[in-house]
Amino acid sequence: MEKIKKNILEKHGYYLTGDESAVKLCHWVSEKLINGRACYKEKFYGIESHRCIQMSPVVDGCNHSCLFCWRYQDFIPRSPDSYDEPEDIVERSLSAQRALVSGFKGDERCDSKMWKEARKPNQVAISLAGEPTMYPYLSDLIEEYKKRGMTTFLVTNGTHPEIIESLDELPTQIYVTIAAPNKKIYNKLCVPSVRDGWERLNKTLELFPSLDIRTAVRHTLVKGWNLGWEKEYADMIKKAEPDFVEAKGYVFVGDSRRRMGLSNMPSHGSVKEFAHRLEKELDIRVVDEKKDSRVVLLSDPEKETIIKR
């Protein structure tokens, strides 16, 4: 990785674990350690916020430039000549997380038992930055984390259905982001660098029912852009038949502040209203919410929502 790119990433709080991979301490790790507040994934799915690693195997590789994305986007898209090895990424990410939480030990607000647990992560969110399905050894990466007894959440923009279909080792849970109800809004809001991104996304949705794992669809809702169109979203959800649907409000943070305004951040109330309108189109119901994260969870109320380790 070029020195200037490395400096930029480190300035933005990324801990590089190789030439292309990185870890960044999630806000909710510190919230859990200091204030006892957990992220919505703990509330919805049973993961432990303080034991979760947020990482990417391709930190500067993405075929989207979403206007609402909080990540730094000014890198020139490229295909590296080589990629970090899966086992190296895993070992370095574990070491990085230990280093990143080390400073909390001296904070009197931090529970010592919880701090020790934070040094032994058992969950990884492959979602930090970039599009993880662009990493050619994704299946091996998931396998390496699983060997260490860790659950894995894979977040994708859905533009590489062939990669998901070819995975020998599947994650514990896979998310696909649906941030637009139609191709026109998708092209304007997600700014794909591939011409057929919309078609690829829909192929991924069609693939979801065949995956023998927990599946989730996430709607990132941006006021003035994609909030509404419940019938169109419902038609897409019907293709995927996901276990869970998240209606998640855009938050005015990070690099997105260069492209969006505070007025684009919907209230939790408007996100919840969207979710209730959506449930009228589908055979699912609102089953949970987390107001401070502006997120509402929809599912079949009969489904189990806690990961069975």
pLDDT band at 189 (very low <50, low <70, confident <90, very high): very high
Q: How far apart are the C-alpha atoms of 211 and 167, rounded to whole Å?
A: 10
Q: Alpha carbon of 207 to those of 86, 203, 215, 217: distances in Å?
A: 25, 6, 11, 13
Tokens representing 173 are 């849970």
Q: How far apart are the C-alpha atoms of 291 and 115, rounded to whole Å?
A: 26
Residue pair 270/223 in contact (Cβ under 8 Å)? The answer is: yes
DSSP state of 35: I
Residue pair 48/123 in contact (Cβ under 8 Å)? The answer is: yes
pLDDT tens-digit map of 192-239: 999 999 999 999 999 999 999 999 999 999 999 999 999 999 999 999
DSSP state of 195: T
- Strand ranges, E, within 172-294: 173-177, 214-221, 244-249, 285-290
Range of lowest pLDDT (10-19, 111-120, 159-168, 240-249): 10-19
Tokens representing 152 are 């894995």
pLDDT tens-digit map of 124-163: 999 888 899 999 999 999 999 999 999 999 999 999 999 9
User: Which H helix or E strand runs over 126?
Assistant: strand 123-126
Mean pLDDT estimate for the chain: 91
pLDDT band at 108 (very low <50, low <70, confident <90, very high): confident
Q: What is the pLDDT of residue 78?
A: 57
Identify which has the larger pLDDT, 76 or 221: 221
Please provide the DSSP assignment of 144-200 as one string: HHHHTT-EEEEEE-S--HHHHHH-SS--SEEEEE---SSHHHHHHHH--SSTTHHHH
Using the structure block, give the residue that is written with the tokens 């070819």.
166
All domains of the chain in start order, with CATH: 3-299 (3.20.20.70)
Using the structure block, give the residue that is written with the tokens 């038992």.
113
Q: How far apart are the C-alpha atoms of 138 and 114, rounded to whole Å?
A: 30
Tokens representing 214 are 């927990």
